Every structure is written in structure tokens, then in C-alpha cells.
């Protein structure tokens, strides 16, 4: 079997090279994070939604470590999100209610499983790689879904308790603490990711640990976790978010998450059925015309304008 | 003993469905190196052709099957000519995302016209009920599936090995560039193969409606099975696809019958192991 034309390889720049040439922070990066903090101070802001956006951004960023740094696509990244989510859920349910240490434990667990997975998939590539990651995700989903005695099945894990952050800030119904907590954790992990350069197995472990942290954050801030957190749908969603935003930039993940969740929130009010149509169309248009994604496309545009 | 035989038979019938559904995907994936997840959507289309033809137009079941083949084939030809051909040669991930986007759109479109619920299907009376064969009580509809699947498998193997068009297809699979250089109209061969593959998927969708049910989530539900059959069987081998489909069908039915609590675990684990052991599938050739 042979491809008709040579595959395109130069569309995605590895993120480590990108950030190596960007050792100092640009004004855009500072503005980006300042804007996220600024959202908190807007009166009547929909903080629960913004919190979700930050968490999904972190999740998509963890996938970017694989896809953007090493060119490893995964159809099963939600597995690690789910592992982190359930680990944080069980800790909270059985008395370990301190959030930050709970997050670290959940994230480490996802990282260890990610490291093992990384070793397993080291030699496969292409379709086989997509199938293995998808298969592992489905196995995990199946187990969690069927062991309803342990996991609560479709109803999810109930009775998760999370203590106030640092013993001071209670998770309130307006999502204020949740937003700042998610943002702070995400920022710390972003700094780590920005400085990263590792081989395949380690990157897989780190990406898994970050995905686990995102899952744990979602569980802790909503005090709920269900099998949808590790469904194939979620693996597909996170891939869509990253591709929309653009790979190899880390920021693409957040831009994608913002667009995706904002659109979903808005369209879903009209009708959840149409949501599928629009996200499908968006995906097709993205890969047809902006294969690089939003952030890299914008950069090219800005670069061109500057040169004039 | 009788139950083992019945489970085996039901598994084979299910496997035949999976074979018809995925054989087109296997050939086009091997031929054009194109990962078409939307293949599952053509199956759904075939299922809805059956619904419209038999329920709304009131035409017989046997008329709806060729119509499902033709309409799904035409639809896949149109999609291939207008969209897919611009994406040959791009990386796997781009193709996965493109066709995933098309699946999402197809789900929404079908829901818009027919709603999100399962459709009522009725088959003619000679296909319902059970029949005693060699001391076994077998469902007539499943017997029908096994016969149709076996006939199609023979036709496809014969067509690929013995006809002129089959030789063109094999030439394109082996080396499209050389085939084109030798004066073969590869674009035409691609398009026709795509149409036939899509048509078979549509036929499988129509055949499966009675057994598996048909609703807008059909593509996402059976996508995984399609991918398993194609990747385990190996691309572009009809016998490989048939073997993988039958194995998967039997494993799935037996698993659900004897150990319902572990569900899909068995087939997913087998898939992962096969992929790690032989990344090009059981009968696949090295790329």
C-alpha cells in the first residue's frame, strides 16, 4: 500500500522547539493569564463555565504534550482524565478531603499508569497506535461502567467531600473558589509544561499526569464524577478542542477550550442536537482550511502584517 | 451442545453483518491510505433508506436492500468526489478528525429529519420466526444474513481475483503511482471502489436494522467494531476482513451470552493485544 502523495509533515512545529526560541515571556502571554485572572473580577461572570474552560484547557494542553511535542495522536486520552477524576473522587469520599494533596495523588496515579502505557505503545505507530489508545480507553470505560457496585455505574460516584482549599477557602455555589483553584493549579502545570523536553515514555507519563490533574480538578470542583469522564466521546472532544485551538503552542488548548465550551453552552440552549452539527462542521472546516488551528494561524497572520 | 452451536451460529450471523459493513472500509483504507470513520455513517444511511422505503413508501423489504446499496453508494461517491479526494496523502489524524466531523454532522442531520429515537422495523413473515435445521432451532433472519454474507464474500473474492476491475484495484493497492504511470485511471478506480464499499456499508446498515436497531447514534456505536475488524483483519484483504469479522462476531455474542458482566472487555483486550503483536493486522501486509 502506498500513499498517492507524500504525507505532509511540516504543518505542526514541535512545542519544545517553539518554546525554546521563546525563553522569555512575551507581552501576549502575560496578557493572556492576566485576562484569565481578570475574569474573576467581572461582576455576574459565569464562573462555573469559566472554571470548566480552564479545566478543559488544561486537559487539552496535556494532550498537546503528546501531539504537539512528540506527534503522538491519542484517541484515548480521556482514560487518564477519568483515572484522575475517580482517584480524586475516592479520596474525597473516604475521608482524604484535603484538595491539593488529593490532586497530587490522583495526578501521580494517572502519571504512573501513563508511564506504563507509554512503555507499551513505544513501538506502535499510525492506525495501530490510534487503535491501541482507543482500545485501552474502551476497556477502562467498560470496567468502570459495569462495576456499578464500586463506581456507582452511570449514576456516578456520590458523596464526595472536599475540604476548603488551604483550610480557608470553601467551594461555594458561585464557583468562585473553584475558578481560582483551577486557574492556579493550571498555571503551575503550564509553567512546568513550558519548560519540558523529554523522551516518549516520560512525555506520555507527564501528559497522563496532567490529564489526571484536570480530571481531579473537575471532580473536586463539582464533587461528582461519572463514567462519561472517561468515555470515547470525551477523548474525541479533547482532540477536537486541541485541533481547533492549534497544536504545539500550549495556548491553543485554552483558546480551543474557550471556543468549544462557549459555543456548546450557547448552542445547547437552542438544541443539543444541533450542537453536533455545528461542531462537526467546525471540525471539517478547520481541517480543510486552517489545518494548523487558530493560534498558529493567527501567529502567521500577525507575522505577515508585521513584515509589511 | 445445542446452545454452543446456537451461540456460534448467532455469532457467525453477526460476524457476517460486520463483514459486509467493514469490507469496503478495509479495501479503501488499504488502497488510498485513507482512514474513513464516516464509513459508519453510510451504514446508518442504508438503515434509514430501509425505514423510508418499507415503512413510509410501503415497498417490500427485498426492494429496499438494493435501494440501500445504491443510495449509500451514490452518497459515498459524492462525498469522495467533493471532499475526501482532497485529503488523500494527509496524515492519519487529519483524516480521523475530518471524518469524525462528518459523523457528527450526519448524526445531527438524521436526528433533524427522523428524530433521535429507534425506528420501527418490520421484515416479511418468511424471515421471522424460527426454523429447525439438523436438530437446531435457528432464527430465519440470521440464516438469511449468513447466506447473504457468504454469497457476498464469494462474489467479492472472485471479483477481486478474477475480474478486470479487480485486477485494477489490486494494482492500485500494490502501488498506485506505478499503476497510474502504466496508464491506469487510478482516480476512477478509487471512486468506483469507494462507491461499492459505501454501498455495501449501506446494505449492511439496512440488513442490520432488524437485528441491531437503527437510531442516529448508530455510527458512533458501531464505529469501534468497524475499526476493530479492519485493523485486526489487516487492510485490503477480503479473507482477513472476513476472518476478523467472524471472530469478532462470535467472541462478542459468546462473551455476552456466557459472561455478560464483563461485556466488551474481551473483544477490546483482544484488539489491543493483536495491535501490539501485529500492528498491520492478522493477515495484513507490511506497509
Instruction: Give me A191's grid cell.
Output: 509553567
Q: Are A188 and A58 in contact (CB under 8 A)?
A: no
Q: What is the pLDDT of residue B1?
A: 64
The grid coordinates listed for A44 are 455576574
Name the nearest CA neighbour of A257 among A15, A63, A87, A70.
Answer: A63
pLDDT at A11: 44
* Beta-strand pair B130-133/B136-139: antiparallel
Which residues in A lie closer than 8 A to residue B272 (C-beta atoms)? Answer: 131-132, 135-136, 139
Structure ipTM:
0.81
Q: Residues A54-63: pLDDT tens digits? A: 999 999 999 9
- What's the confidence (pLDDT) of residue B205? 92
* pLDDT attached to residue A199: 64
A4-13, A230-239, B70-79: least confident range:
A4-13
Among A12, A63, A70, A135, the strongest candidate for a mutation testing the B interface, having the largest count of B CBs within 10 A, is A135
Q: Which range has highest mean pLDDT (A11-20, A249-258, A298-307, B260-269)? A: A249-258
pLDDT band at A9 (very low <50, low <70, confident <90, very high): very low
Nearest to A277 among B89, B105, B265 (CB): B105
Higher pLDDT, A98 or A210: A210
Q: What is the mean pLDDT of residues A116-139?
A: 83
Q: Return the pLDDT at A301.
A: 82
Contact B224 A291 (CB under 8 A): no
Binned at pLDDT 50, 70 and 90, residue A4 comes out as: very low
| Chain segment A29-87, per-residue pLDDT in tens | 888 888 888 888 887 778 888 888 999 999 999 998 888 877 788 888 999 999 999 99
Q: Where are the beta strands (DSSP E) in B113-271?
A: 130-133, 136-139
pLDDT bucket at A16, cuts 50 / 70 / 90: low
**pLDDT tier at A3 (50, 70, 90 boundaries)?**
very low
Half-sphere exposure of A296 (CA within 13 A, CB side): 23
With beta carbons under 8 A apart, name residues in chain B contacting A126: 92, 279, 287
Give the confidence band of A8 by pLDDT, cuts at 50, 70, 90: very low
**Residue A137: closest CA among chain B residues belongs to which residue?**
B268
- What pLDDT, in 10s, does the model give residues A139-167? 888 888 877 777 777 777 777 777 777 76
Nearest 5°: the CA angle A245, A246, A249 is: 110
User: Can you give the pLDDT at residue B133?
Assistant: 76
> What was the pLDDT predicted at B40?
92
User: How many other CB atoms sit within 10 Å of the CB of residue A167?
Assistant: 8
Residues with Cβ within 8 Å of A206's Cβ and at least 6 positions away in sequence, in order, are: A65, A111, A114, A192, A193, A196, A198
C-alpha B106/C-alpha B99 separation (Å) is 10
Sort out which chain B residues have CB atoms less than 8 A from A291's CB and list them: 90, 94
* pLDDT over 50 (residue A228): yes
pLDDT tens-digit readout, A161-187: 777 777 667 777 777 788 888 888 888
Per-residue pLDDT at B149: 93
B129 within 8 A of B239, measured Cβ to Cβ: no
pLDDT per 10-residue tile (average), chain B, 287 residues:
83 93 86 86 94 88 92 94 86 86 91 84 79 78 91 91 85 82 85 92 91 87 86 81 91 83 76 81 62
B234/B115 Cα distance (integer angstroms): 36
Cβ neighbors of B274 (< 8 A, separation 6 or more) are B231, B232, B281, B282
Non-local CB neighbours of B43 within 8 Å, separated by 6+ positions:
B21, B72, B201, B202, B204, B205, B208, B218, B219, B222
Whether A129 has a pLDDT exceeding 80, the answer reads yes
Which residues lie closer than 8 Å to A257 by C-beta, 6 or more apart? Answer: A53, A54, A56, A57, A59, A60, A241, A245
Amino acid at each position: 500500500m502506498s500513499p498517492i502523495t507524500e504525507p505532509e509533515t511540516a504543518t505542526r512545529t514541535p512545542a519544545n522547539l517553539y518554546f525554546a526560541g521563546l525563553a522569555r515571556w512575551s507581552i501576549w502571554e502575560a496578557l493572556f493569564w492576566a485576562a484569565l485572572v481578570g475574569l474573576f473580577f467581572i461582576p455576574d461572570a459565569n464562573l462555573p463555565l469559566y472554571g470548566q474552560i480552564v479545566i478543559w484547557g488544561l486537559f487539552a494542553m496535556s494532550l498537546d504534550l503528546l501531539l504537539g511535542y512528540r506527534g503522538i495522536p491519542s484517541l484515548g486520552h480521556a482514560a487518564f482524565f477519568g483515572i484522575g477524576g475517580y482517584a480524586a473522587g475516592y479520596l474525597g469520599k473516604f475521608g482524604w478531603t484535603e484538595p491539593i494533596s488529593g490532586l497530587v495523588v490522583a495526578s501521580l496515579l494517572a502519571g504512573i499508569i501513563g508511564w506504563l502505557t507509554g512503555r507499551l505503545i513505544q513501538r506502535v505507530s499510525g492506525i495501530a497506535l490510534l487503535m491501541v489508545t482507543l482500545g485501552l480507553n474502551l476497556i477502562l470505560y467498560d470496567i468502570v461502567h459495569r462495576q456499578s457496585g464500586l463506581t456507582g455505574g452511570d449514576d456516578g460516584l456520590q458523596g464526595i467531600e472536599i475540604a476548603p482549599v488551604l483550610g480557608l477557602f470553601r467551594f461555594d455555589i458561585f464557583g468562585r473558589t473553584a475558578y481560582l483553584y483551577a486557574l492556579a493549579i493550571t498555571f503551575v502545570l503550564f509553567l512546568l509544561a513550558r519548560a519540558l523536553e523529554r523522551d516518549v515514555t516520560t512525555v506520555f507519563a507527564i501528559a497522563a499526569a496532567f490529564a489526571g490533574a484536570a480530571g481531579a480538578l473537575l471532580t473536586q470542583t463539582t464533587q461528582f464524577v461519572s463514567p462519561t469522564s472517561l468515555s470515547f466521546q470525551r477523548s474525541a472532544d479533547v482532540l477536537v478542542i486541541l485541533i481547533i485551538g492549534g497544536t504545539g503552542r500550549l495556548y491553543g488548548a485554552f483558546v480551543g477550550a474557550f471556543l468549544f465550551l462557549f459555543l456548546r453552552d450557547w448552542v445547547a440552549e437552542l438544541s443539543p442536537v444541533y450542537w453536533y452539527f455545528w461542531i462537526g462542521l467546525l471540525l471539517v472546516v478547520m481541517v480543510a482550511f486552517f489545518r494548523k488551528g487558530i493560534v498558529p494561524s493567527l501567529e502567521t497572520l500577525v507575522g505577515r502584517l508585521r513584515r509589511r | 451442545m445445542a446452545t454452543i452451536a446456537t451461540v456460534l451460529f448467532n455469532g457467525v450471523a453477526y460476524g457476517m453483518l460486520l463483514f459486509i459493513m467493514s469490507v469496503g472500509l478495509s479495501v479503501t483504507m488499504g488502497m488510498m491510505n485513507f482512514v474513513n470513520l464516516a464509513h459508519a455513517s453510510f451504514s446508518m444511511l442504508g438503515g434509514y433508506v430501509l425505514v423510508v422505503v418499507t415503512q413510509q413508501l410501503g415497498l417490500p423489504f427485498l426492494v429496499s436492500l438494493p435501494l440501500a446499496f445504491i443510495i449509500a453508494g451514490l452518497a459515498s461517491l459524492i462525498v469522495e468526489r467533493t471532499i475526501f479526494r482532497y485529503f488523500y496523502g494527509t496524515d492519519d489524524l487529519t483524516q480521523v478528525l475530518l471524518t469524525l466531523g462528518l459523523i457528527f454532522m450526519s448524526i445531527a442531520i438524521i436526528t433533524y429529519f427522523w428524530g433521535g429515537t429507534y425506528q420501527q422495523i418490520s421484515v416479511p413473515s418468511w424471515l421471522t420466526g424460527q426454523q429447525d435445521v439438523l436438530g437446531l432451532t435457528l432464527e430465519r433472519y440470521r440464516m438469511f444474513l449468513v447466506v447473504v454474507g457468504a454469497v457476498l464474500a464469494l462474489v467479492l473474492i472472485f471479483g477481486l481475483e478474477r475480474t478486470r476491475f479487480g485486477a485494477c484495484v489490486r494494482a492500485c493497492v500494490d502501488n498506485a503511482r506505478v499503476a497510474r504511470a502504466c496508464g491506469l485511471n487510478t482516480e476512477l478506480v478509487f471512486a468506483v471502489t469507494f462507491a461499492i464499499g459505501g454501498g455495501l456499508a449501506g446494505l449492511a446498515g439496512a440488513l442490520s436494522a432488524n437485528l441491531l436497531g437503527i437510531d442516529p447514534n448508530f455510527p458512533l456505536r458501531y464505529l469501534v467494531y468497524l475499526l476493530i475488524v479492519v485493523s485486526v483483519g489487516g487492510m485490503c484483504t477480503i479473507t482477513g476482513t472476513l476472518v476478523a469479522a467472524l471472530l469478532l462476531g462470535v467472541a462478542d455474542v459468546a462473551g455476552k451470552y456466557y459472561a455478560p458482566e464483563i461485556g466488551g472487555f474481551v473483544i477490546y483486550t483482544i484488539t489491543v493485544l493483536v495491535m501490539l503483536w501485529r500492528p498491520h493486522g492478522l493477515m495484513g501486509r507490511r506497509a
